[in-house]
Every structure is written in C-alpha cells, then in structure tokens.
C-alpha cells in the first residue's frame, strides 16, 4: 500500500511539472492553432540559466533559498525574452501561411536553441547543484521530500495565478476573445498581435519555472532535456484537450500519475514479462486510448474543421 502512495506522490510531482509546461503549449494553441514544438527547449534554457546563476552565487554565502530564488528570477526574464523573440521573428511572419509551415519553423527553432545551449553549456549532462538540503517527511507510510512539496506548491500557485489572469483580468478576456475569433476581437479593440506575444511570454515564464523545478528534482540539466519533457507535456495538453486551460492541468496530472503507477506496477501486472522500461509505452497507450474514445481530449470541445 505504501508503494501505491509513494507512486501517487511521485506521479503528482511529475504531473505538476507536466501541467505547467503543458499550459504553455495549450495557451499558444488555443489562440493561433500552432503546436509550438520549441516550447520544451524554453524549459531547458530556463534550467540552464538557473544552473549558471546558482553556480555563480553559491560561493557567495547567501542563504540557499535566496540563491534559488535569484536563479529563478534570472531564468524567467531570459525565457520570456526568448519566447517573445520566437513569436516576433519566426512565427508572426508566418500567420496565414499553410498550417505545416510554422511546424517546420518550430523544429528549426528547436534545433537552434538546443545547439546554442550546447555551445554555451557543454554537451555533457550537468549536475544541477542541489544547494537546498533535501529533507524527507513521512506521509502515510511513504516519503515526500521538501523539493517535492515545493514543486507541488509552486505549481498549484502558478496555475491558480494563471487561471486568475485568464478569467479575471482584462488581458485574459482579450486572450479568450482572440482565441474565439481574432477578427471580431480586433473589431472590439483588441490588439491581436500584442495578445499573442503576451501569450508566448507568459508560457515562457511558466516554462522557466518548470525548468528550474525539473532540474532540481532530478539533479541533472542537459541540453536535450527539453525535447523529452516537451513531448510529454504536449501529450498532456492533447490528453486534456488542446487549447483548453483546465484540460492541460488535468492532462498533466493524469499523465504523471499514469507514468508513475505504470512504472511501479507494470512488472507485477504482466508477471515481469514487461519491465518499467515500458513506462513510456504505457503513457502513450493511455493517450491513444483516450483519444480513440474522445477524439478531442478529455475536456476539449468538439470543434469543427478549423484546419
């Protein structure tokens, strides 16, 4: 039973990170129907910037909490800048182009960001400094670390903040209006270009924090870490119904749980024929099963042809 609770805790932690990254995908998709494949790389850049800042500040004797905060504080604007530049320089010229063109652009950006990162921060995995002392707490027979608690708390806070932003502010209303119909929103005085740029920037800020969280959780930062994480987060967004903000959160948490429980139990369920190396298969199978039964994801509305 405690294994079960342990896997739930691990799954929730992982799922919270997926959810935060998935929000970036889903917000952009909701507004301009673009899969921003480079979003995962923004997460990676966030982790890398934080890595450098922690490395620079760690010997200064500041309290560890302050160092991590400062690192995150540097990662967020760096990623926001990248998010803005990406939208302004690469995606905006492609508005109204055939649907697959921006996808290839996204792949190009992804390659560029990865290799710039490789140039700046070596091609080898970097040990992410864990300057905050890890502490474990007992929870119903399972353990939960302070890092996990922090990840969960920060993710929930950010998601709450985002929901408030989207559903309670003027800017959020403008975002939702643009998502529904850019032309009409424009007639109502919404500057679509600004709203879209803003969406990219918010998504990038979330990604930066996610990058710091995931790097501190695993203790590793690598220039390819973004693509795998981005892929999972994209799955999460699709699982929940892409373009739907609560859907991305639900999808992220579900995917995290499925992965953790799958990894924990797949061996027992199949008599050890399949080991935990089939963890990813498990996640994708669930994704495919959900989409076959509900073609627009769990919370997605049935949209007609918008291709």
Residue pair 18/252 in contact by the 8 Å Cβ criterion: yes
Residue whose CB is less far from another protein, 85 or 134: 85
Residue pair 6/242 in contact by the 8 Å Cβ criterion: no
Query: Measured from the CB of residue 11, what is the shortest distance to another protein in angstroms?
Result: 19
Q: Would you tell me which residues interact with another protein (CB under 8 A)?
A: 29, 33, 35, 90, 93-94, 96-105, 107-112, 114-116, 118-119, 231, 234-235, 238, 242, 273-275, 277-278, 280-281, 284-285, 287-288, 291-292, 295-297, 305-307
Residue whose CB is less far from another protein, 41 or 129: 41
Q: Quick one: three-class SS letters along the chain?
A: CHHHHHHHHHHHHHHHHHHHHHHHHHHHHHHHCCCCCCHHHHHHHHHHHHHHHHHHHHHHCCCHHHHHHHHHHHHHHHHHHHHHHHHHHHHHHHCCCCCCHHHHHHHHHHHHHHHHHHHHCCCCCEECCCCCCCCEEEECCEEEEHHHHHHHHHHHHHHHHHHHHHHHCHHHHHHHHHHHCHHHHHHCCCCHHHHHHHHHHHHHHHHHHHHHHHHHHHCEECCCHHHHHHHHHHHHHHHHCCCCHHHHHHHHHHHHHHHHHHHHHHHHHCCCCCCHHHHHHHHHHHHHHHHHHCCCCCCCCCCCCCC
Task: Copy the structure tokens of residue 187.
Answer: 């007639």
Q: Round to whole Å and give the CA distance between 111 and 113.
A: 6
Query: Measured from the CB of residue 56, what is the shortest distance to another protein in angstroms?
Result: 23
Query: Measured from the CB of residue 171, what is the shortest distance to another protein in angstroms?
Result: 26
Residue whose CB is less far from another protein, 71 or 260: 260
């Amino acid at each position: 039973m405690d294994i079960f609770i342990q896997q739930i805790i691990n799954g929730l932690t992982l799922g919270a990170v997926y959810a935060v990254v998935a929000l970036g995908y889903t917000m952009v998709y909701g507004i301009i129907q673009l899969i921003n494949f480079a979003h995962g790389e923004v997460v990676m850049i966030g982790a890398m910037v934080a890595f450098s800042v922690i490395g620079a500040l760690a010997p200064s004797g500041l309290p560890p909490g302050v160092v991590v905060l400062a690192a995150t504080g540097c990662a967020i604007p760096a990623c926001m800048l990248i998010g803005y530049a990406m939208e302004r320089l690469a995606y905006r010229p492609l508005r109204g182009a055939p649907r697959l063109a921006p996808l290839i652009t996204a792949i190009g950006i992804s390659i560029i960001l990865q290799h710039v990162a490789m140039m700046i921060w070596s091609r080898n995995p970097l040990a992410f400094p864990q300057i905050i002392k890890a502490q474990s707490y007992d929870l119903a027979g399972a353990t939960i670390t302070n890092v996990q608690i922090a990840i969960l708390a920060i993710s929930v806070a950010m998601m709450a903040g985002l929901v408030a932003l989207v559903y309670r502010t003027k800017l959020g209303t403008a975002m939702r209006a643009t998502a529904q119909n850019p032309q009409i929103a424009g007639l109502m005085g919404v500057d679509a270009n600004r709203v879209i740029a803003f969406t990219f920037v918010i998504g990038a800020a979330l990604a930066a924090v996610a990058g710091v969280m995931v790097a501190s959780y695993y203790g590793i930062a690598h220039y390819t870490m973004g693509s795998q994480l981005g892929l999972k987060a994209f799955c999460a967004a699709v699982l929940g119904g892409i373009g739907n903000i609560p859907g991305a959160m639900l999808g992220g948490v579900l995917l995290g749980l499925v992965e953790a429980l799958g990894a924990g139990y797949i061996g027992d369920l199949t008599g050890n024929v399949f080991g935990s190396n089939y963890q990813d298969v498990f996640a994708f199978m669930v994704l495919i099963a959900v989409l076959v039964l509900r073609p627009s994801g769990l919370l997605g509305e049935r949209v007609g042809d918008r291709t």
